[in-house]
Amino acid sequence: SRMTPLEAIRNAGGLQLKKKKKSRLLALLFGMEGELAGNALKAQKKALRTSTLSLTLSFFGFSIMMNFFSLSTLSTQYTYFEKYQNVWDIMVTLKDTKMEDFKLTEKLREIRGIQDCVVYQKAMAKVRIPDSWQSDELAALGGPAVLAGQAASGATDAATAKEAGAWLAEAPIVILDDDAFRAYCEEIGITPRLDGTIILNQIWDSLHSNFRHRIYVPYVKEAQDTVTLLNAKQESGQAEIPVLAYTQTVPVLKEEYNNYTLVQFMPLSLWEKTADHLGGAEEDTYVRILSENRTDPAEMAALEQEVGRLISPDYDMVSENRIQDKITNDLMIQGYQLILGGLCVMLAFIGIANVFSYTLGFLHQRKREFAQYMSVGLTPGGIRKMFCIEALVIALRPLIITLPLTAAFIVFAVRASYLNLSEFLPVAPVAPIAVFSLAILGFVALAYYIGGKKILRCSMAEALRDDTLA
């Protein structure tokens, strides 16, 4: 109703090509048909805005999501599953149970299928470290506070503090059952004894290494025969304990130790003599079990049930299964991918629906355009080539826009995770992203096939003679 009769006769409401805007790249690649396709897409830029935006967001979101989860899975594999695959198979937490009250250690070790079993508990103490006791390597780096303040997390660590001319450091205590402690003594090459502590003599050099590839230096000089542990809760309690050895080898336990603490390993029989001075241990006791068959999920589950049948009648327990943890973690990641991938597919459907709407309107919008092209010599094959070029541009434009952004994200994320690009490339989600891209290309091609088929079935002579808007 806004058009004048003259405009209607001239078909002013049809597709208006922009003569001033030339598609040089498409013309260079595909010739005359490429330039005509590029001009047609520019003329319909507003009509295709929804499809361009939706397809770009869907492809960008899908590629970022898949790369993020691949990188996260790789990091978890390195820092958890591979790190602990030879450390534990079943972990049992005995709730509100003191280690000395647990009487089933020997029966656990007699269960068929158990290769090794360690019962342990944790406590917390403090220790004063005078400057003269610090190792030469640590002193050269500036002391504990410098390393803790320059940690990769960027935050200062509360495990060390200066007090009265000495560093007051946390000294976590890992209390092992006597048999496990004897085995640990043999592992580090000392005569098994139950009257002293073994000190984990290391501190993370955060100035010259990152959290994934840590370099450790000795914390203290290995000259003192005793260490004075302080009550972490009260200022008065303390205990002087013989030092059996300094080591940088930890017992095989599912534990993460603070990077700036002086960790102590001691036997239960010694702890029972010093517990009152140091304030007691934590409430829970832990049982670490290694299985003889470490790859069969069914046997691992059966062993976990057997352990539960022995312990659960007398103790409140919670158990973990390493293989089941891996399966659960994989299922959770698959669930996240399914939900987020569904959102990306919905965005893609919106864009594809817009393309279908556009192509199915060919009959009314573009029949005169193609009739005019054919009247000056463009063949049906040329029209099909134009359709193919337009479909490629609509489908590949989101990929061309998002691939550099995705590549930049991958490089940033890999560097932030302190991984090598060569480690990520073998697990890069190339196949899912390729399938998603081909699906978008296939649907866009289908939309153009349907629309183009309708165009080519029309009588071009009738279209040229028809000067109405319909």
The SS3 of residue 121 is: strand
What are the backbone angles phi and psi of residue 286, rounded to the nearest 5°? -120, 145
Tokens of 387: 């359709």
CA distance readout (Å), 296 to 30, 116, 137, 291, 314: 58, 17, 45, 10, 29
Determine the pLDDT at residue 58: 94
Determine the pLDDT at residue 81: 84
Closest listed residue to residue 217, CA positions, set 241, 184, 246: 246
Cβ atoms of 83 and 91 within 8 Å: the answer is no
Helix (H) or strand (E) holding 470: none
| Count of Cβ atoms closer than 10 Å to residue 453 Cβ | 13
Cβ atoms of 68 and 414 within 8 Å: the answer is no
Q: What is the mean pLDDT of each run of 10 residues along the chain (470 residues)?
A: 53 49 66 73 76 91 94 89 89 95 93 94 94 92 80 42 74 96 96 96 92 91 94 85 96 92 96 92 95 89 94 94 91 93 93 86 66 71 82 89 93 90 92 94 90 71 51
Tokens of 440: 């978008």
Residue 38, beta-bridge partner list: none
Determine the pLDDT at residue 383: 78
Tokens of 294: 């470490």
| Count of Cβ atoms closer than 10 Å to residue 431 Cβ | 9
Rounded Cα distance, 218 and 222, in Å: 9
Cβ atoms of 266 and 241 within 8 Å: the answer is yes
Closest listed residue to residue 95, CA positions, set 384, 247, 317, 366: 317
Angle between helices 367-375 and 380-416 (to 10 degrees): 120
Determine the pLDDT at residue 143: 86
The SS3 of residue 397 is: helix
Cβ atoms of 128 and 163 within 8 Å: the answer is yes
Rounded Cα distance, 240 and 238, in Å: 7
Tokens of 230: 């302080």
Query: Strand 197-200 vs strand 166-176: parallel, antiparallel, or unpaired?
Result: unpaired
Determine the pLDDT at residue 152: 33
Tokens of 10: 């001239």
**For the chain, how many residues are written?**
470
